[in-house]
Structure formats: structure tokens, C-alpha cells
Chains A and B, each alone.
Chain A
Amino acid sequence: MKGMTTVQDSSKISPFLVLYLIVSTQVGVGVLGFQKYIVEGMGYDAWMAIILAGLIVHLYIYMIYSIMRKADMDIIELNHVLFGKWIGNLINLVFILYLLILSLTVLRTYIEVVQVWMFRNLNTWIIAFFILLLVLFVIKGGFRSVVGICFLSVLLPSFLILTLYFPLQFAHFGNLLPIGDFTMKELVISTRNMVLSYLGFELLFFFYPFIKNGEKSQKWAHLGNFVTVSIYLVIGIVSFAYFAEPYIKEAEWATLTLWKVVELPFLARFEYIGVTTWLFIILPILCLWLWAASRGVKHMIPKLKQKRILYIMVAVILVSSGLFQTREEISFLNTLSSRVGFYFLGFYIPLLYIIMLVKKEVRKS
């Protein structure tokens, strides 16, 4: 048997596809309603937080690349090498749990959007079952198939950005003025909330060994993050210019509300199209995260088959997705995953970076 982290050349992907991987994991259900959370701190100056948070994420991507370049192995093995068997495994377990909770959050939040905007009485389990079936089907095709879905999921729904033209007709850019009316504390709150919307890039830890010429893909990763920042920025500014500030503070899904203005001769209520197309956007996230999680477990316990692990994970997510029913419960799920993500970003990645800086050489155990 070959080493666990050696990946065959034929299953590696071109460096430029990293752009799509990054964009498709970062843009998820967050886009539908991030405005409320960032306005919480800075008010209508929050567009600066979008940019600032984007820069922070650039920094994190830089750190991940320097870690991975030096380590030349994936994160599961790296944790073993750096922290020893027990602590390393514990960290891996937390990492995998974090991926699972995030997948569950994304799935449940999307289904909630569907239930609120399209089908009031839709059974969570039934729709989760079909979406997860799709996820299984994609992951069973291997990493290349997952990347293919990521690629298409950036390409196909990109027409949605054109719909911003309609609210622009009623936009008051005066809403954004005066600029600079915030305190440091408000800036920190907004930026923190915004960084959480960008989560997803940490999967680089998992798919880095799958990239042909991994080092060369760094510019694509940064470009991907840049694209994400631009998408958030455009949507953010348009919604600030369209909505009044008191409204946006209450709006659960401001982006979806923006679509209510879209008017076409053959189509009213564009949000129906928007919500259904959004399946394209959440699917790659679920696929990639569950792929990473199942692969992670497989590395920890090489005896198990990845397929089996995946089935178990999907079953767990399916069952638990139906347990969160009310808005408060789903909100709790969101808070939970963003907390975990926050600590993960704030402490783990910088810690790893510093350790790697200090260590001269990393050897495979």
C-alpha cells in the first residue's frame, strides 16, 4: 500500500480549479442573509468590514499555503506529526466534527429558506434525503467529480448577479453616507461576523495534496478569495443602497428580498428561481466538506472504507437535520458553527503557522 497522503497524478486537478473550489465553498447560504449580521456593528459603513474581512482571509490563505508547502502532507497527518498521536487525533476529531456541523448548518439553513420562501409544509427529512442522495452520488465519483460540481456551481448560477440590476434602479447611494461613523469596537464586531461568511477556505488543508503543482495554485486561491469578496461587496452595497437601515437590521434574508423587485414579462416572483438555483451553490459545499470529513476519518482509521464512513456521516446528518425545526434552533446551529469556526480560525491556523515557522524540518512519522 502506498503512503496515505500520496495522491495519484491522474486524480489531481489543475491549479486554476482552486479558484472555483475557493469561491464555491465560500459562497454559500451566508450570501442570502449576511447583511443583517454585519450591519449589527458598523451600520451602513459595514462595506468596509467586507473588505477588511476579505484581507484577513487573504492573510489566512497565505498562512495555510506556507504551512502546507513546508509540510507536504495533509492536515490529518500533520497534526499527528506535530502534536503526537493523542492530541493530534483529538484536534483531527474536532476538525472533522466542525466540518460535519458546518455541513449540517448549511443543509438545514437552505432547507429552512426553501420552507419559508417556497413550501411552507415541506418535510425536512424528505428534501434532506434527496439532497444528501445527490451529495453521495457526487462524492462516489471521486474528487474530480466533486471539483466538477464546484466548477459548474460557480459557472451556472453566475447569471444571478445580473438580477442586481433591478434593485439598482431604485437605489439611493446616499444611504451609505456619512462614511466613517463607527467606533473600533463596532468595526471588530462587523469584521468578525463577516469573516465567518468567508469560511470554507480552510478546506485547502484537505485538498492541497490533490492539486497539481500545489505551490503554483496560491495565486488562484487568492484570486478566488478576491472574487468572493467582490461578490459580497457588490451585493452588500446594492442592498445598503436599496434598503433603509432599520429594515435591514430586521431582515433575515436581505438578498432574497432584493429579488422581489425583479420584474420580467414572463416572470413575477423571481425569488423562486433564485432559491431553487441556490441548490447549485450549496451542493458543492456539502460535497466538499463531507468528502473532506470522510477522508479525514479514513486517514485516522485506515482500516475503514471511505464509502462506509460517508454513509454513516450522511445518515447522521440526515437524521439530525430534521431535529432542528424552529427558527431559534436553526439559529442556535448557526451560532454554534460560527463559534467553532471563529476559534478555529483565530487560534488554530496562526498557532500552526508559528509552529511551522519555528520548526526547521517536518518528517513523516
Chain B
Amino acid sequence: MLKKRGKGSNNKINILPGLEKLKESADFIHYKNDGNPGFYVNYFKSLIDVDILHRDILRYVSKSTTKKLSELKNELPIEVVMETSDVEFITDKIFRGFVFVQLENDLSNGLLIRAEKHSVRDVTIPEVEYSVIGPKESFVESYEVNLNLIRSRLPDSQLRLKQYKIGSLSRSKVGLLYMDGLTNQENVETVNQRLEDIDIDMLNDISNIAELISDSQLSPFPQLLDTERPDRTCAALAEGKVVILMDRSPHVLLGPTSLIEFFSSFEDYYIHWILASMFRLIRLVAVILSIVATPIYVAVLTYHHEVLPQDLIGTLVTSRRNVPFPPILEAIILELTIELLREAGARLPTKIGQTIGIVGGIVIGTAAVQAGLTSNILLIIVALSALGSFTTPIYNIGNTIRLIRFPLLIFGSLFGLLGVVICVVFILAHLIQLTSLGRPYMEPIYPFRFGDFRDAIVRLTLRERNTRPVYLRTQKPIRFPEPEKDNKSTDIYE
């Protein structure tokens, strides 16, 4: 850039023609101010803060009598002022909210003055990953604010930021955060490489990046954890993970990650470890039930009613007596109804969404059973599985769970319980093969790492979790010195 600037000033070319293209936009302002000396002002009305322009720029420039840009630069009360003659650079900066000022006597050079307008919403409470206890901040759409939220929690020189500009049209600012000397260099390099390889015109949200850099594009399982909580992000950084953030996206990506991590709510770390472990177990059971409950119902009722004990089969038969459909049809109708309700609820504003919940849940449910279209036992099962899939703390994995229920349903109706097991094994085999940034996704179950179970299905006390997860292959596997064990008194207090 410097080279180009030097070259430009030697040749003394008028820059103004280079900006002609910009003038075609209605919100581009270009005018000449007469004075001694006269000056040109160029900027996008929509990108700059008019207050700064009037208060800090125009006032000083019009008062000034100097004919040298470098002197004018010193008179301005703004820090980011650049003297340049590179047309490409100028155009780029004008699009980033800079005002370009030229003096009448020197049209080959000009000053770029920063006056960008930040349209930022306030930092609000997290909505997707809400927690009762713990910090109530969540990321917003501004890169700078998000970085501030992270840096203020990790005021450490090890925290490094690499920056990229991705997208030929959107030119989105993308950042890669990691802890130098702690995070595995290979992981950083993998993400770095994948980000650099992205060749795309438009990035709208960080989920686009997640899709572009994931290990397997075919897998329905999310391979990078997407979060809106700064505290979770910082904990991940301290653990040795890599964080990707993007301007205009209120979420960040964490990686490498493992399947189990998607079932841990960050609130788990703020409540007592026994309670947290209990809730995690409940969540896991809920998710497993949510996947297999309806398929098992269909399999059992289609092929193996012998499996049910005498008393239970009585209840089932009574509830299904008037239902004219085979179990698979009954189940698919109900599952689709629930999905329909969810989709309708998600697309509507919150207040109407609640009404949909009532109409759908109570009215349709009761009516369907009374009309004899479904059995109420299946209604309970389907509603419970829907509930189970909503217990996942990370939104993405909940969607995956809703999806993988359907192949299980179909196989359950084709081959009974055997079909369900075939499908389950298929999913397990897929999970075993899946990687996140090249690290095994099923860790700590396979490869089996006993140490990492301290924070997987259960969460042990903070003091006991003094090592970083093995699969991250960090440069410093120990987080803090192991607490001293009190071996002296195991006897009763006297």
C-alpha cells in the first residue's frame, strides 16, 4: 500500500476521476467548498456519523488556511487520519465510513478521516442460551463490541486475533481467536487454512462459515459449536479451543468440539456440581428417549405386541381401539403435526406464537384423540419426544435430533425393533467416523479417555477439573496445580 502511495504522489495524477463511479449512488456526497484554500469533501451519507463530520472535520478544515495536507492533518482532532493517493485504498475506506478530503491545490493527494457510524444494538440478555444464574450478556452484531466482551474477560497477552476479509461482495470481517502457547497450533492452522480457502461472494452470518469449514458437509450433526454467550466463549478459549467470530453476526463458533458438549448448558458450571451432573443426565436421557421413543412404539405395535406385559397391552389396545390407521401412519401424522406447530410458532412473533401453542397443543391434540385419529398414548409419547428435543442447550443439535427420528421411524415400521437397532448402529458408526477440525467427535466415549469424563456426562468439581480435555491436544494440558489432598485426618473430628 505504501509503495503505491509513493508512486502516485510522484506522478501527480488527479484522483477525482477515480471516484466517478461512486457518484452514481444517490447517497454519495461530493461537493466543493470555496474558501482559502477551497476543498473537496467526499463521503457516503449512509455510512458516516454526521455529528463527527460537522463538529470535528468541517469546522477545522474550513477554518484552516494551510495548503499542506500534513499540516491540516495535525489540526484535526481525530486520530485516524491518513494521507494517501491510492484510489483503490480510498474507495475501500470510503465504504468503511471514512470521509475523503482534498485541498484544491493538490488533487493528487487527500486525507482519509474516520467518521464511521456504528449501528449497534445494546448488549442484551442471551435468548437462545438463557441462564438463570450467571452473566446475562450476549454477543451483538458488532465485531468490536464482541471482541470487547471477550477481551475484557481474558485480559491476557496470550490471546491472539487473526483477521480475515472474506467475501468478494460482503467483505466481511472475520476473526480467529486463540491462546498463543496454549491452543494446539495444528488446530489454529486448520481453521486458518480453511478460512483462507473460502471463496464466496456473500457471507450473511457465522453459520455460513460453519457450513463452509465443517469437516463433513453431509453430516446432519453440527461440527462446530455455535454460541452467543461471551462466558462460554472465554471458557472455551481458556480450555484450548479456537474461536471464530464475524462482523454482523451475534454468534461465534467454537471448535474443535465433541458431541457430548452440545448437551452441556453453560449454566451447569454455575450451579452445584451434583445438581449440574443430575441435570445433564436428565438431558441426555431425554434426548435418547426423544430419538427412540416413537420408533419403538411403532415397532412394538406393528410387529411385537408380545413384548408388552398383559396389563400394559390392555391400556394400549383400549387407547388404539378406534384408530383406523396403522401405527406408522399414526406416528408420522402426529410427528408432522408437532413439527408443523413448531415451524408455525418459530415464524410468528412471540405473542401470537403462544396462541399457536395453545391452539395446536390443546385443541388439535384433544380433538385428534376424540375424533379417533390417534391414540392418546402416542400423543403423550410424541409430545414428550418433542419436549425432549427442546432440552438441548445448543439450538442446532435440537434440529438434528428432530430430523434423525424419521429414518428410525421408517425402519422401525419396516423391520420392527431390528430396524430401529440397525438405524441406531448406523448413526453410531457415523458419529465414530465424524471429526471436528480433525479431532474425534465422539470423544471421550471413543476414543475412550477416562480423564475427560470429568466434564462430559457428569461435571465434577472445579478443583478436580484441573486438566484440559485430551482431544484438544493443548500445549499446556494442566490448567492449574492439582489441589492438595488432605490425607491427614480421615477419622471423626474429636
Chain A residues with CB under 8 Å of B312's CB are: 266
Contact with A along B263-306 (1 / 0, CB 8 A): 00000000000000000000000000000000000000001101
Chain A interface SS verdict (over half): helix
* Given A131-B422, A141-B433, A149-B432, also A273-B303 (CB < 8 A): no
Contact with B along A148-189 (1 / 0, CB 8 A): 110110000000000000000000000000000000000000
Chain B interface SS verdict (over half): helix
Is A280's CB within 8 Å of the partner chain B?
yes
Instruction: Kindly identify which residue among A122, A127, A265, A273 contacts B309, using a CB–CB cutoff of 8 Å.
Output: A265
CB pair B421–A276 under 8 Å, yes or no, is yes
Q: Which residues 259-303 of A sit at the B interface, judged by CB distance below 8 A?
A: 264-269, 272-273, 275-277, 279-280, 283
Instruction: Kindly identify which residue among B420, B426, B446, B447 contacts A134, using a CB–CB cutoff of 8 Å.
Output: B426
The CA of A145 and the CA of B432, in the complex, are separated in Å by 6
Number of A-B contacts defined by CB within 8 Å: 84
CB pair B304–A145 under 8 Å, yes or no, is no
Task: Give the nearest-CB partner of A150 in chain B.
Answer: B446
Task: Give the nearest-CB partner of A155 in chain B.
Answer: B445
CB pair A273–B307 under 8 Å, yes or no, is yes
Chain B residues touching A, range = 20 to 34
Task: Determine how close the nearest CB of chain A comes to the CB of B309; give it in whole angstroms.
Answer: 5
Chain A residues touching B, range = 20 to 34
Task: Give the nearest-CB partner of A264 in chain B.
Answer: B309
CB pair B422–A134 under 8 Å, yes or no, is yes
Choose the segment among B130-138, B172-180, B254-262, B410-418 that binds chain A (4+ C-beta atoms closer than 8 Å): B410-418
Is A138's CB within 8 Å of the partner chain B?
yes
Chain B residues with CB under 8 Å of A266's CB are: 308-309, 312
Instruction: Kindly identify which residue among B306, B415, B442 contacts A148, using a CB–CB cutoff of 8 Å.
Output: B442
Chain B residues with CB under 8 Å of A119's CB are: 303, 415-416, 418
Task: Determine how close the nearest CB of chain B comes to the CB of A146; give it in whole angstroms.
Answer: 9
Chain A residues with CB under 8 Å of B422's CB are: 130-131, 134, 279
Q: Which residues of A contact B (CB under 8 A)?
A: 14, 114, 118-119, 122, 127, 130-131, 134, 137-138, 141-142, 144-145, 148-149, 151-152, 264-269, 272-273, 275-277, 279-280, 283
The 5 closest A-B pairs by CB, nearest first: A148-B432, A141-B433, A276-B417, A148-B446, A276-B421
Supply 24 A–B pairs (Cβ within 8 Å), ascending by A: A118-B416, A119-B418, A134-B422, A134-B426, A141-B429, A142-B433, A144-B432, A148-B432, A148-B442, A148-B446, A149-B429, A151-B446, A152-B432, A152-B446, A265-B309, A266-B312, A268-B307, A269-B306, A272-B307, A273-B307, A276-B416, A280-B421, A280-B425, A283-B425
Q: Which residues of B contact A (CB under 8 A)?
A: 303-304, 306-310, 312, 415-418, 420-422, 425-426, 428-430, 432-433, 442, 445-448
